[in-house]
Structure 1
Amino acid sequence: MTDDILRMRGITKTFPGVKALQDVNLVVRRGEIHAICGENGAGKSTLMKVLSGVYPHGSYEGEILFDGEPCRFSDIRDSEKRGIVIIHQELALSPYLSIAENIFLGNERTSRGLVDWNRTNAEAAELLERVGLRENPVTAAMDIGVGKQQLVEIAKALSKKVRLLILDEPTASLNDEDSAHLLDLLRGLREEGITSVIISHKLNEIRAIADSTTILRDGRTIETLDMSNDQVTEDRIISGMVGRDLEHRFPPHEPKIGEEALRIEDWTVHSPSQHGRVVVSGASLTLRRGEIVGLAGLMGAGRTELAMSVFGRSYGVGISGRAYKDGREIQLRTVGEAIGHGLAYATEDRKRYGLNLIEDIKRNVSAAALGKLAKRGWVDDNKEYQVADGFRESMNIKAPSVLSVTGKLSGGNQQKVVLSKWIFTDADVLILDEPTRGIDVGAKYEIYSIINQLADQGKAILVISSELPELLGVCDRIYAMSAGRITGEVSRAEATPERLMQFMTKEKE
């Protein structure tokens, strides 16, 4: 038996008008954690869908060898019989079923043709203990967080006697604590002899956990790196991904800071679901024209709650405080009122709240400002097309036309559509919540450049991010939050990760 558990040779996959994979080769050693990197659209997920049978044999060219034997999978069940299990980025749990029911869905524990619930719940409890999840197996999947749902998916894979576990962006929606737990679990599975393939944009995580990394670019294999080599830095990986050296991950920018655009004073917000709980307490901040201001904080600090409550009370109850625009007090009681005052909020969850994924680019760009395109109550289709096409060109949205379905775009291009939508409202204060989440390094650079251009146009920008290097690289000034309070404010010159972390972990006085 060879050291290689998997070999994929000459894999070519074509969709109408697009060659997604071209002569891709991949070798995965037995018992290793193998990372796959590449920009959005590089072919990472497509390659794993070929491997797992989502794209059946006959729909692609090339050969798959598992344990040295040729494999021709007709569907996912076929690959799972061999011990190959894929966990997609969009988790596939049924929210109304229990954890135990989800784990054994399609793989039920039966006795005489009926589900054996005692056995189902007992085996589920054993699997949950194995993945380190302390939850009752009868708990509904909808009642646990995303991090725990990810662990349920892994427990489900273990129930199928997994030998090769494929995870597509497993930590994209997780906080730091849940991410660390998941990575520890993968290390534990490696000790048990289970091989893992992980697709991720988080290069720090890849360097921490991967034994090998294969880089794809434009549907081709570029190289496979041995991660035990000290010469393999994050910059080295990025160079392979984008095909060029990125001397600076953040575009250079000299700010031209002007007058105050927005000021929030003594802003307090209560939870709409937990009576009496204060999620934002006496927060005050100022944004100036031409300035990019960061908002740092650990998960649960209240950053998103602050932003959404300011944006027309999209979140919270019992909201109090004062808001000033250009020095004049304003009311922000509804989203329409906030938009009318020139505010925009790009949500952290663009797929659920920021975009209509089944609509085209044109309709998404115009969605927040249809009044600008309407004449006597009817939207001018030609004008709508022209406006959207102008943004497609100016924002470098990679799509054949503005009639392309938004859900088919890469994460970076979807984010450009979100930004286009809010820029079209003529907003001069933009609140960007996790603007580069789930986006590759090349697309991140483009988003940063757009943010700089908006600042240069005199717009005031608030960037909320969980990535401290991003805040330090993009922002002119940074606020930190902890437990619902603004705990510190530093200029770019004074900001360091250590100082921000001190503010972010500051306990209530």
Structure 2
Amino acid sequence: MAKTLLEMRGITKVFPGVKALDHVNLTVEQGEIHAICGENGAGKSTLMKVLSGVYPHGSYEGEIIYDGAPLACRGIRDSEAKGIIIIHQELALVPLLSIAENLFLGNEVASRGVINWPRCFQKTEELLRKVGLAEAPTTQVGKLGVGKQQLIEIAKALAKDVRLLILDEPTAALQENDSQKLLDLLLELKRQGITSILISHKLNEISRVADRITIIRDGAAVSTLSTDDISEERIIRDMVGRDMAHRYPDRTPAIGEVLMEVEGWNVWHPEQTGRQMIKDVSINVRKGEIVGIAGLMGTGRTELAMSLFGHSYGRGISGTVRMGGKAVDTSSVQKAIAAGLAYVTEDRKQLGLVLEEPIVKNITLANLAGVASRSVISRGREQQVAEQYRRAMSIRTPSVFQKVVNLSGGNQQKVVLSKWLFTDPQVLILDEPTRGIDVGAKFEIYTIMNELVAQGRGVVMISSEMPELLGMCDRIYVMNEGRIMGELTRAEASQERIMALILKNETKAKVA
């Protein structure tokens, strides 16, 4: 019988107006990969912050038994001293420092206050080999991709003699190849005897690597499943408290005339002279239509969206945008909004929200004129608008005066959507609208999209998840290397056809 490494008993954590955790029990066995699933706001990250000392002993009720002894962490240093290392969704690396400096920051290889750099570089190379990286220890971390940075975070944990590794949505920002490398590494660490707790919304990844899954709903642990019991249908049912026979809401399209046309759109890199990012792109969106843009990461999808919305990306931009058949000026964000465009960025925390401000201010931020009289903002009107969207979008919060930073990812996304819907757009561009949110919140976002097109608006959806594009879109444009490689109707579209169009350009390049 496997040894129990961790027991969390009756963990209860209360924030003002919210009970985040309600008598949660969790048992993790030595050497297993234990997944934790749940909707956004269910309490997954809060539970791990209790375990790792982010929320110190005394700020919660219940007890933690680790390796057979009570655990009462007063902070991160206490948990790390026990071999418990947490890697948060937002990576804690310093971009301007080297890999070696990051790996041993606060844990320096030193004698009498002097860093032993040769020994530091030697240990860095050893740790990088363990996580499958060949970079030099002196490489600046900010010059690496997100996938490699995630592996460096794991190497940093190994440098601290990790016994229990906690990963909070480690693949949320990774493309598929990087995700597979990280999952393979977790399995290798398991073979080395390291125990892992994996928080993830990606059910296929959980099914692949997890030995057991604990599902949390509304702050309570509702079930723990073993490998033999794991199925997406069961996980979803326990997560949302209901069956989801259809992952995507039903919709009968009522597609009208062309709403937006983009013709001959060209964009150059803002810093690298001579590098063209968008090459002669032409697309259109009709009333009542959801149009998808598919492609691998780095193929120009976000650059296209940002350049259309107020020239927020790029230089030397040329081409024509028409709304309702008339050419419009979208050369600034204000002009793009006035023309009827809105853009929900893929990075809601950095670019979509002011995290330390309340919901009420975030929702009205893009249309202050809508809550003002003679250039003076009406606080009453502002609150009225925020309350209206809170109800309409089912934003789970005790008050519209709650800071956005305290909301779950799914509710933050609803605030971003509310902000742009308050500008009354005709065409809404959604860039990775369901990244990092759970299946229940995804369904709510899909339902909102359907409601928008039912009103005669148009939606452009950029997504790296092909099943999502196939399940939601009426047409799909396929991009690669800044070009449109093809267009597929709903009836024509399949994962195989999308990949064939993406690879078509790569095959030509190899032949050339």
TM-score tier, shorter chain, comes to over 0.9
| TM-score under structure 1 length normalisation | 0.97
3-state DSSP class of the match of 2:504? coil
Q: Deviations over 1:414-451 (max 9, x none)?
A: 11111111111111011000111111111111111111
Question: 1:492 deviation in Å?
Answer: 1.3
Equivalences for residues 82-101 of structure 1 within 5 A: 82-101=82-101
Conserved 8 A contact 1:482-1:506? no
Aligned to 1:102: 102
Q: Deviations over 1:270-308 (max 9, x none)?
A: 111222112211211110011011111111111101111
Question: 1:16 deviation in Å?
Answer: 2.6
Unaligned runs of 5+ in 1: none
Aligned to 1:338: 336
1:378 aligns with 2:381: no
Conserved 8 A contact 1:293-1:462? yes
3-state DSSP class of the match of 2:447? helix
Q: Deviations over 1:51-107 (max 9, x none)?
A: 112222222222222222222222221121221111111111122322211111111
Conserved 8 A contact 1:55-1:75? yes
Counterpart Cα distance in 2 of 1:306 and 1:132: 34
Equivalent of 1:365 in 345, 363, 366: 363
**Higher deviation after alignment, 153-162 or 9-18:** 9-18
Letter of the 2:8 partner, please give it.
M
Counterpart Cα distance in 2 of 1:64 and 1:381: 46
Q: Deviations over 1:203-262 (max 9, x none)?
A: 1111111111111111111111112x2x53211110010111111111111111111011
Aligned to 1:404: 402
Counterpart Cα distance in 2 of 1:169 and 1:250: 23
3-state DSSP class of the match of 1:506? helix
Aligned to 2:504: 506
Aligned to 2:54: 54
Q: Deviations over 1:462-488 (max 9, x none)?
A: 000011111111111111111111112
3-state DSSP class of the match of 2:366? coil
Equivalences for residues 53-452 of structure 1 within 5 A: 53-227=53-227, 229=228, 232-452=230-450
Counterpart Cα distance in 1 of 2:337 and 2:408: 27
3-state DSSP class of the match of 2:251? coil
With over 3 angstroms needed to count, the CA separation of the structure-2 counterparts of 1:484 and 1:501, relative to structure 1, is: same
Counterpart Cα distance in 1 of 2:424 and 2:84: 50
Q: Deviations over 1:1-34 (max 9, x none)?
A: 9522222222222223322212211111221111
Counterpart Cα distance in 2 of 1:497 and 1:464: 15
Letter of the 1:269 partner, please give it.
V
Counterpart Cα distance in 2 of 1:74 and 1:384: 41
Letter of the 1:260 partner, please give it.
V
1:22 aligns with 2:26: no
Question: 1:506 deviation in Å?
Answer: 2.3
Counterpart Cα distance in 2 of 1:380 and 1:84: 49
Question: 1:375 deviation in Å?
Answer: 2.4
Counterpart Cα distance in 2 of 1:339 and 1:407: 26
Of all paired residues, the percent bearing the same amino acid is 60
User: What is the RMSD computed on CA atoms of the aligned residues?
Assistant: 1.5
Conserved 8 A contact 2:18-2:398? no
Q: Deviations over 1:328-352 (max 9, x none)?
A: 2222211111111000011000100
Conserved 8 A contact 2:32-2:195? yes
**Higher deviation after alignment, 306-315 or 69-78:** 69-78
Equivalent of 1:493 in 491, 494, 503: 491
Counterpart Cα distance in 2 of 1:57 and 1:105: 25
3-state DSSP class of the match of 1:189? helix
Counterpart Cα distance in 2 of 1:409 and 1:426: 24
Letter of the 1:431 partner, please give it.
I
| TM-score under structure 2 length normalisation | 0.96
3-state DSSP class of the match of 1:369? helix
Counterpart Cα distance in 2 of 1:334 and 1:303: 19
Report the count of equivalent residues: 507
Letter of the 1:488 partner, please give it.
G
Aligned to 1:474: 472
Conserved 8 A contact 1:263-1:325? yes
3-state DSSP class of the match of 1:62? strand
Equivalent of 2:457 in 456, 459, 472: 459
Letter of the 2:463 partner, please give it.
S
Letter of the 1:221 partner, please give it.
A
Counterpart Cα distance in 2 of 1:360 and 1:191: 46
Conserved 8 A contact 1:33-1:211? yes
With over 3 angstroms needed to count, the CA separation of the structure-2 counterparts of 1:14 and 1:387, relative to structure 1, is: closer
3-state DSSP class of the match of 1:255? coil
Conserved 8 A contact 2:17-2:398? no
Letter of the 1:283 partner, please give it.
V
Counterpart Cα distance in 2 of 1:472 and 1:482: 18
Conserved 8 A contact 2:478-2:501? yes
Counterpart Cα distance in 2 of 1:178 and 1:233: 24
Question: 1:50 deviation in Å?
Answer: 1.4
Counterpart Cα distance in 2 of 1:298 and 1:383: 43
Aligned to 2:32: 32
Unaligned runs of 5+ in 2: none
3-state DSSP class of the match of 1:367? helix
Question: 1:140 deviation in Å?
Answer: 2.5
